[in-house]
Amino acid sequence: MTALSSAPQGAGPATAGFKSGSARSSAPLIYLLEDDPIMAECLALSCRRAPSSPTIKVFADAISAMADFDHGLPNLILLDIMLNGPNGFTFLNELMSYSDTSAIPIILITSLELRARSLEHYGVREILSKETLTPAGLTAIVGRYV
């Protein structure tokens, strides 16, 4: 697997002094990693309808999302496993290698048949199927976390 950052093991991304959601805004921050722009827009729209009115940052690849951690950590990550470049599993491994990112809750949104229990140690709280996910369902699930 390819490393996503050049920081030493355990050093964490440059997030010292940052809180989840960053101090820039009181709204919760959600990172949405989805390489299909139409799907990303639909998912982001559903997330914005959550009662907390979260800020959504959309990334088409894992490397861009990791680089953005320098601006503050998200309160929640929505992750498509089948990304271009380093895939979602590589991203999960990278998150787990740093104490400041390993505690971020993650919701997988995928077409793959996966079991949440086997991914719990990566911070995966739920796995949602792209085939059965509804906008209202995603809004409700996001509302439980932010």
Q: Please give the model's pTM, rounded to 2 decimal places.
A: 0.80
Would residue 19 count as lying in a domain?
no
Would residue 86 count as lying in a domain?
yes
Type of residue at 16: A
Phi, psi of 81 (to 5 degrees): -70, -40
Instruction: Report whether pLDDT(1) > 60.
Output: no
Burial label for 113, CB within 10 Å (0-12, 13-18, 19+), is exposed
Which CATH number characterizes residue 37's domain?
Answer: 3.40.50.2300
pLDDT in tens, 107-120: 999 877 766 666 77
Distance (Å, rounded) from C-alpha 32 to C-alpha 29?
Answer: 10
Type of residue at 33: L
Distance (Å, rounded) from C-alpha 81 to C-alpha 91?
Answer: 9
pLDDT in tens, 34-92: 999 999 999 999 999 999 999 999 999 999 999 999 888 999 999 999 999 999 999 99
Would residue 74 count as lying in a domain?
yes
Domain residues for 122? 29-145
Would residue 13 count as lying in a domain?
no
Would residue 59 count as lying in a domain?
yes
> Residue 140's CB: how many other CB atoms inside 10 A?
14
Would residue 8 count as lying in a domain?
no
Would residue 23 count as lying in a domain?
no
Would residue 11 count as lying in a domain?
no
Q: Taking Cα atoms as reference points, which of 62, 36, 58 lies closest to residue 45?
A: 58
Contact 71, 140 (CB under 8 A): no
Pairing of strands 76-79, 55-59: unpaired
Q: Please tell me the total number of residues recorded for the chain in this structure.
A: 146
- As a whole number of Å, the end-to-end CA separation of the chain is 31
Contact 13, 101 (CB under 8 A): yes
Q: Tally the domains of the chain.
A: 1
Distance (Å, rounded) from C-alpha 57 to C-alpha 37?
Answer: 13
Mean pLDDT, residues 102-131:
82
